[in-house]
Amino acid sequence: MRHYRLALLGFGNVGKALSKLLLNKQEELTNRFNLIFSVTGIATAKHGVAIDPMGLDLSRALVVDDLGSLTRQPTPRDSCDFIRRCGANVLFENTPVNYETGQPAIDHLRVALESGIHVITANKGPVVHGYQKLKKLAEVKGRKFYYESTVMDGAPIFSLFRESLPGANLLSIHGVLNSTTNLIFSLMEQGESFDESIKYCQKIGIAETDPSGDIDGYDAAIKLAVLTMVLMDFPLKLSEVKRTGIREIGSAEINQAQSLGKRWKLVCHAERKEDGVEAWVSPEMIEPDSPLYHVQGTSSVVQFETDVLGLLTIIESDPGPQTTAYGLFADFLNIVSNHTL
């Protein structure tokens, strides 16, 4: 029986959903994968930190207000000190995304890899701003840096290319990658105003208090940059993605599209050119014969054009923290199936 020690840095929607999934799958992990796990550390910003080399009680961690009540260890100085002291061999980094710099998550992943710990993250920031260096560091240290949940939550995108499409060259990417704007357009088609639709998205927890990351296209652009960088092996900077948000699309534009039998979508494109890759995000009227037309609400879709398969389309229906958690869980199983610790 193999035993893995896990640490969770960030214990919000995603960290908690992952914990519930790990608890639900505990018996299956033992019976099907011959492995057991313990969680030796959990760290947050304002809800305390807990470290126990013998394993924390994860069910209790899910209900206490202050994680500090679960530990007798001295409180780490900061997140990097936590990583060095948590005694884990796999770190899940699920702190909030920083669009501008990717920090402090880049430092979290760097310190973990330097300490010989595999890293798994749903945080797009360190991938878009630190991919090349973190990938190289992981190789040098003989550890894995996986990030399946950064784009389309638990849907297999990076593992698909890594494991199942050897020798395929990606020529273009087209897709609807931002759930909030897609739901806003769906609600506006049902007669809601732009502002009412945003308020609804905030109420159900998919849009932040400041929704500009979604409606100005930053979230879509960062996902597109991550896909381009990893799958097209092109060092695209986030600032190089041309970006137009959805603020100009009001009820009149929605009605006009409907009268033409079309729908508005915030569409991401990346196309390989002779001198690199061109990438852009903008609202577009979509024809009903496109797979993008039928993806409504919080669902998302991506189309990959390769030199060998033509168009390959992946649709993810109604994602949430639980599907993001599955992407992290799948990364964990993919790492430990191919790696002895």
Ligand X SMILES: NC(=O)c1ccc[n+]([C@@H]2O[C@H](COP(=O)([O-])OP(=O)(O)OC[C@H]3O[C@@H](n4cnc5c(N)ncnc54)[C@H](OP(=O)(O)O)[C@@H]3O)[C@@H](O)[C@H]2O)c1
Measured CA to CA, the distance from residue 173 to residue 254 in angstroms comes to: 25
| Residues between 150 and 179 that touch ligand X (CB under 6 A) | 153
CA angle 64, 202, 146 (to 5 degrees): 65
DSSP 163-184: II-TT--EEEEEEE--HHHHHH
- The distance from CA 284 to its chain's CA centroid, rounded to whole angstroms, is 24
Instruction: For ligand X, give the closer residue by CB, 254 or 328.
Output: 328
Least separation, in Å, of the C-beta of 49 and ligand X?
8
Residue nearest to ligand X (CB): 12
Run of H or E residues at 154: none
Q: How many CB atoms lie within 10 A of CB 167?
A: 7
Stretch that binds ligand X, among 20-28, 58-66, 194-202, 317-325 (CB under 6 A): 317-325
Q: Is 96 a residue that touches ligand X (CB under 6 A)?
A: yes
Alpha carbon distance 122, 269 (integer Å): 22
The only residue of 184, 292, 321, 326 in contact with ligand X, by rule CB under 6 A: 321
- Please name which of 140, 167, 164, 118 lies closest in space to residue 331, comparing C-alpha atoms: 118
Among 20, 47, 84, 133, the residue binding ligand X under the rule CB under 6 A is 47
| 72-91 core/surface letters (b: 16 or more CB in 10 A; e: else) | ebeebeebbebbebbbbbbb
**Shortest Cβ distance from residue 307 to ligand X (Å)?**
30
Contact assessment for residue 170 and residue 305, using Cβ atoms and an 8 Å cutoff: yes
Query: Can residue 79 be called a binding residue for ligand X (CB under 6 A)?
Result: yes
Does 44 participate in binding ligand X (rule CB under 6 A)? yes
16, 124, 144, 223: which one is catalytic?
223
Which of 19, 40, 149, 298 binds ligand X (CB under 6 A)? It is 149
CB of 41 to ligand X, least distance (A): 11
Closer to ligand X by Cβ: residue 13 or 172: 13
Q: Is residue 297 within the footprint of ligand X (CB under 6 A)? A: no
Instruction: Provide the 8-state DSSP code for 248.
Output: T
**Residue 265 annotated among the catalytic residues of the structure:** no
φ/ψ (deg, to 5) at 106: -60, -45
- Residue 268 CA to residue 291 CA, distance in Å, equals 14
204 binds ligand X (CB under 6 A): no
Residue 332 interacts with ligand X (CB under 6 A): yes or no: no
Helices 13-24, 321-337: inter-axial angle, 10-degree rounding: 60
Q: Does 14 bind ligand X (CB under 6 A)?
A: yes
Q: Least distance (Å) from ligand X to the CB of residue 43?
A: 5
Task: State the nearest-atom distance from the C-beta of 320 to ligand X, in Å.
Answer: 6
Among 18, 56, 80, 122, binds ligand X (CB under 6 A): 122
Q: Label residue 51 exposed, middle or buried (CB < 10 Å: 0-12, 13-18, 19+).
A: buried
Applying CB under 6 A, the span of 45-53, 242-250, 275-283, 306-314 interacting with ligand X comes to 45-53
Residue 324 lies near ligand X (rule: CB under 6 A): yes
Shortest distance in whole angstroms from residue 221 CB to ligand X = 14
Catalytic residue annotation: 223
Binding site for ligand X (CB under 6 A): 9-15, 43-47, 79, 94-97, 104, 122-123, 149, 153, 320-321, 324
